[in-house]
Amino acid sequence: MPWIQVKIDIHPAQIDSIEELLLTSGACAVTMEDGKDQPIYEPERGTTPLWKHTQLTGLFDAAADMQSIIPKIEARYQALSGSPLPAHRVEILEDKDWERAWMDNFHPMQFGTRLWICPSWREPEDPNGINLMLDPGLAFGTGTHPTTALCLAWLDAQDLKDKVVVDYGCGSGILGIAALLLGAKRVIGVDNDPQALEASRENTRRNNIEEDRFEIYLPGEAPDIEADVMIANILAQPLISLSPTLANMTKKDGLLVLSGILEQQASDVSECYSEWFEMNPPEQKEEWIRLSGSKR
C-alpha cells in the first residue's frame, strides 16, 4: 500500500500535542527518532528519555489530501500553543525508508537503455553506461520508488542535448542529475526542504558536474525561465495547485513530465494541465502514474 509521511522536527516538550494532532488528522501511525545523532545511555528505570532534537513522523494513506490536512494541523497547533508548527515536510514514503538500512540492498539499477543509478559506495555494473552515482542522504529519490523509476525511464528515452530542464521537487537531485548526464545543458532544481537542497548539491559534486549547471533554489527564489523540459515528481494535490506556475515555467512546445500521482488521481491532474498542454496517455507502474505532454 502506498504511503505519504509528514516529518516534523520537534523538541521533546512538543511531542504529546503534535502526536495527538497527527493522529486526529488521520495519521495511521506516528513514530519518533533521533534528529541529530544524540546517543542516550542507560536511562533510569521507569523513564522514557527522548532526544533533544527529535523527528516525529506521521504516516498517512497516499490518497490523503495533505494540502488541506497540513494547514488544519498548523492552525490547530497555533491555537493550542500560541506558536507556529515547527519545521516540517511532506514526502512519498520510499520502498525502503528505514534510515540507511537499505544500503546493503541498494544495488545498481538500469532505467531504459543507457542510464544506471549506482549507490556511491558500489562499483558500477556497466562501466560504459551512463552511471549516476547516488547517496540520497535524507532526501527522497533513489530510483527504488515507482514514481522516480517512471521519470528516469522517460528521461532515458529523450534527446536532452543542450536542453534546459526544471526539476520541481528535486529531492536528492536524482532526476536533475540524470538529465545532465543524458545531455541537458542546464537544470534548475526547486525544493522546499533544505535537506533536499543539500543532498542535491552533494550528489552533483559526486557526479563531477559543475555546480553552475545544476542551480538549486527554494520555491519563490527560482529565476524567471522557460524550460525545454519540466519535471515534477511530487504529489497530486501540489501538482494541481502548482499547475499555473509549472505551465509558466515551460516554453511553447516544451515537454512536461508529472509523477507522484495515484491511479485514481490521474484524470484530475491531467484535466488540470490540459488547459496548457497536449497530454499523452498515462503510464503506470504499480499504483503510481506518470503523465506527460507538450505545451501548446
User: Residues annotated as binding site?
Assistant: 148, 169, 191, 233
Of 146, 176, 179, 166, nearest in space to 260 by CA? 146
Q: Quick check: 139 and 150 in contact, CB under 8 A? A: no
15 φ, ψ (degrees, to nearest 5):
-60, -55
What the block records as the C-alpha cell of 279 is 497530454
Binding site residue list for S-adenosyl-L-methionine: 148, 169, 191, 233
Strand partners, 250: 227
Angle CA(269)–CA(273)–CA(278) in degrees, nearest 5?
120
Q: How far apart are CA 106 and CA 126, in angstroms?
A: 16
Give, in order, the Cα–Cα distances in Å from 110 to each of 129, 151, 284. Answer: 9, 13, 18
